[in-house]
């Protein structure tokens, strides 16, 4: 009886270890794939090049883990992304809507959403002349 309990315990341990490893690997693979897309790179590069983005967050700025998003394939393709960002002063989310037509991505929306206090900064708007 003790031997049967030992085998059962060992089998459960293997299943538990497998589930934990799978639970760790899937988010890492998803994060790796998302951060390598052209839409993600365009959104992050454009945001970093915007003075409003740098001023609001404070340098250095880092993109966080577990970016979210939705991608629809076709012509045009669309990508809606949520990228956690943090700087020396504040943190928030970078929200982007990108469209790919004729092989080129362009940003339709790029907004920095900050909390405490609640603030939304349009990073694509031009400063008034």
Q: Look at residue 32 in the predicted model and tell me its pLDDT.
A: 57
Whole-structure pTM value: 0.74
Range scoring the smallest mean pLDDT among 7-21, 32-46, 64-78, 91-105: 7-21
Both structure tokens of 26: 């899937």
Distances (CA, A) of 95 to 11, 35, 39, 117, 127: 44, 14, 12, 17, 20
- Residue spans of the domains in the chain: they are 1-36, 37-129
Which conformational region is residue 104 in: left (phi greater than 0), alpha (psi within -120 to 50 degrees), or beta?
A: beta
Asked if 64 contacts 98 with a C-beta cutoff of 8 angstroms, the reply is no
pLDDT tens digit sequence for 22-44: 777 666 555 555 566 899 999 99
């Amino acid at each position: 009886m003790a031997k049967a309990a030992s085998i059962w315990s060992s089998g459960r341990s293997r299943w538990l270890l497998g589930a934990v490893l799978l639970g760790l690997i899937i988010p890492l693979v998803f994060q790796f794939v998302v951060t390598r897309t052209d839409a993600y790179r365009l959104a992050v590069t454009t945001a970093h090049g915007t003075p409003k983005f740098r001023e609001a967050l404070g340098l250095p700025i880092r993109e966080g883990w577990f970016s979210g998003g939705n991608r629809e394939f076709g012509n045009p393709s669309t990508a809606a992304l949520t990228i956690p960002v943090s700087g020396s002063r504040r943190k928030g989310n970078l929200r982007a809507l990108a469209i790919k037509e004729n092989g080129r991505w362009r940003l339709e929306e790029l907004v920095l959403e900050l909390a405490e206090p609640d603030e939304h900064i349009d990073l694509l708007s031009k400063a008034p002349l």
